[in-house]
Amino acid sequence: MRNIKMIVAYDGSRYKGYQKLGDNNMTIQEKLENVLSKMTNETVEIIGSGRTDMGAHARGQVVNFRTNCMDSLDKIQKYLYEYLPEDIVVKTVEEVDERFHSRYNVKSKTYMYKIDNNKYHNPFIRKYATHVSKKLDLDRMRKQVSI
């Protein structure tokens, strides 16, 4: 059995988070599993490196799954690109050691929070930044988050 690792990027604006909920098909995990299950003709279970909340985005979330499918990695990636919604993209696909586990082998995670600090919000970044119109005290904010 092969263990396939993928790096996934997505705009989570219209999803209920990464982890499947079982009551609908509007999570990133469910979208990935459905497409891979159709491609491999197997029941595929994706293991994610972590979860994102409803509306959150990811630039490089690591996931893995096990399969008996012998298609090339390039073919798998092209199939995913063609059949996943346009707001989910698999950036890389590679075969890894059978012991690799996305959740347990995490080396680091980076969270980014963006603030649109203008009088009026910028419509081009409204899905990716929180709008705060009042002036922020950056020095005080930096002191509060320093470790």
Q: What is the 3-state secondary structure (H, E, C) of 37-105?
A: HHHHCCCCCCEECCCCCCCCCEEEEEEEEEECCCCCHHHHHHHHHHHCCCCEEEEEEEEECCCCCCCCC
53 is catalytic: yes
Measured in degrees and rounded to the nearest 5, phi and psi for residue 62 equal: -90, 130
* Predicted local distance difference test score (pLDDT) of residue 147: 57
Mention every residue, 6+ apart, whose C-beta is less than 8 A from residue 92.
5, 6, 7, 77
Per residue of the chain (147 residues), give pLDDT as tens: 999 999 999 999 999 999 988 777 799 999 999 999 999 999 999 999 988 888 899 999 999 999 999 999 999 999 999 999 999 999 999 999 999 999 999 888 888 889 999 999 999 998 899 999 999 999 998 899 875
Task: Name the catalytic one among 11, 23, 53, 139.
Answer: 53
Q: What is the pLDDT of residue 25?
A: 77
**Residue 13, pLDDT score:** 92
pLDDT of the residue at 55: 87
Which domains does the chain show, CATH number per domain? 2-96 (3.30.70.580), 115-145 (no CATH)
Q: Which residues pair with 118 in a beta bridge?
A: none
